[in-house]
């Protein structure tokens, strides 16, 4: 079974957590592509979605799912998204698709965060996947210097502008033993919009697509 099939399995399993008449927070990426497909099969049961990126908004609308503007919401029942890495405390690296800032807002306001992954995303220590950080362009040199100071190898994500008009720096070579303090530290640097560490707000449920079915991990 290839990875896409495992992502698809996890995505369809998330439908069990969707209650009729609700608005669903929807993430971004290849796993979420499958989730949007799955969600479209019950679109008449739900009220609509709040989207974490322009690309997911396009897909949702294409599937006939109404998309509401995130700016009008301070609370949501459920958020379904994937991750680039997730540890046993359900803390994540996200932002491989560059949608980390809106994803963080949705994660914060959602009562339940369901993380759908294939088995390769589960790790012991976060950091093998380069940590994405959205920064404003003016902070470029300063931010790179700060990442080198903490042992990181920062790389500018070429030909990529976020939905918010900013740039992304992917920080390699980090072994993140204390994700909460790293999240706070990077978020506090001037010019940083969002760090792709989802540690203080971790996931609530993980659905892992596996060859023989779904593994569910709850907090
Ligand atoms: C996008 C994300 C995605 O959840 C993450 O990159 C995983 O993507 P995929 O499902 O394509 O593996 O954080 O910003």
pLDDT digits (tens, 9 = 90+) for 164-192: 999 999 999 999 999 999 999 999 999 99
Task: Answer whether residue 8 shows pLDDT above 90.
Answer: yes
Task: Output the CA 140–ligand 1 centroid distance in Å.
Answer: 24
124 contacts 217 by C-beta, under 8 angstroms: no
Neighbour count for residue 180 (Cβ, 10 Å): 14
Q: Are residues 105 and 70 in the same domain?
A: yes
76 contacts 114 by C-beta, under 8 angstroms: no
- The answer to whether the CB of 92 is under 6 A from ligand 1 is no
Q: Are residues 63 and 94 in the same domain?
A: yes
Kind plus residue range of the DSSP H or E element containing 182: helix 179-187
Q: Are residues 103 and 185 in the same domain?
A: no
Nearest-atom number in ligand 1 for the CA of 30 is 11
Nearest-atom number in ligand 1 for the CA of 96 is 6
Domains in the chain, number: 2
**Shortest-distance Cα residue to atom 8 of ligand 1:** 29
pLDDT tier for residue 123 given thresholds of 50, 70 and 90: very high
Distance CA 95, CA 48 (A): 24
- The answer to whether the CB of 56 is under 6 A from ligand 1 is no
CATH number of the domain to which 142 belongs: 3.30.70.260
In the chain, % of residues over pLDDT 90: 99
Task: Output the CA 102–ligand 1 centroid distance in Å.
Answer: 13
pLDDT tier for residue 219 given thresholds of 50, 70 and 90: confident
Q: Are residues 81 and 182 in the same domain?
A: no
Task: Output the CA 12–ligand 1 centroid distance in Å.
Answer: 16
Q: Are residues 57 and 116 in the same domain?
A: yes
Task: Answer whether residue 1 shows pLDDT above 80.
Answer: no
Query: What single-letter DSSP state applies at residue 191?
Result: T
CATH number of the domain to which 66 belongs: 3.40.50.1360
Q: Are residues 146 and 205 in the same domain?
A: no
Q: Are residues 112 and 88 in the same domain?
A: yes
Q: Are residues 66 and 167 in the same domain?
A: no
Q: Are residues 82 and 112 in the same domain?
A: yes
Nearest-atom number in ligand 1 for the CA of 117 is 10
Q: Which of 85, 103, 134, 146 is catalytic?
A: 103
- The answer to whether the CB of 97 is under 6 A from ligand 1 is yes
Distance CA 63, CA 54 (A): 14
Q: Are residues 141 and 44 in the same domain?
A: no
Q: Are residues 151 and 190 in the same domain?
A: yes
Active site residue 66: no
Neighbour count for residue 124 (Cβ, 10 Å): 8
Rounded to whole angstroms, the maximal C-alpha distance in the chain is 52
Q: Are residues 7 and 47 in the same domain?
A: yes
Task: Output the CA 77–ligand 1 centroid distance in Å.
Answer: 21
Give residue 15's domain range. Answer: 3-123+200-218
Mean pLDDT (the chain, rounded)? 97
What is residue 200's predicted lDDT score, i.e. its pLDDT? 98
């Amino acid at each position: 079974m290839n990875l896409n099939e495992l992502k698809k399995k996890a995505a369809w399993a998330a439908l069990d957590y969707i209650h009729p008449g609700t608005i669903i927070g929807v993430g971004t990426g290849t796993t979420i592509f499958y989730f949007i497909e799955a969600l479209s099969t019950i679109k008449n049961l739900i009220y609509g979605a709040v989207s974490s990126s322009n690309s997911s908004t396009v897909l949702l609308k294409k599937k006939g799912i109404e998309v509401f503007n995130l700016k009008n919401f301070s609370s949501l029942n459920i958020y379904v998204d994937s991750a680039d890495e997730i540890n046993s405390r359900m803390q994540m690296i996200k932002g491989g698709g560059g949608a980390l800032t809106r994803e963080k807002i949705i994660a914060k306001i959602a009562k339940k965060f369901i993380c759908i992954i294939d088995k390769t995303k589960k790790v012991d220590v976060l950091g093998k996947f380069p940590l994405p950080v959205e920064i404003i362009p003016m902070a470029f040199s300063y931010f790179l210097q700060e990442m080198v100071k903490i042992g990181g190898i920062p790389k500018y994500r070429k030909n990529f502008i976020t939905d918010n008009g900013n740039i992304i720096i992917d920080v390699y070579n980090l072994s993140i033993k204390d994700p909460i303090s790293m999240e706070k530290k990077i978020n506090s640097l001037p010019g940083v919009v969002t760090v792709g560490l989802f540690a203080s707000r971790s996931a609530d449920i993980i659905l892992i697509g596996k060859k023989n079915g779904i593994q569910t991990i709850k907090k």
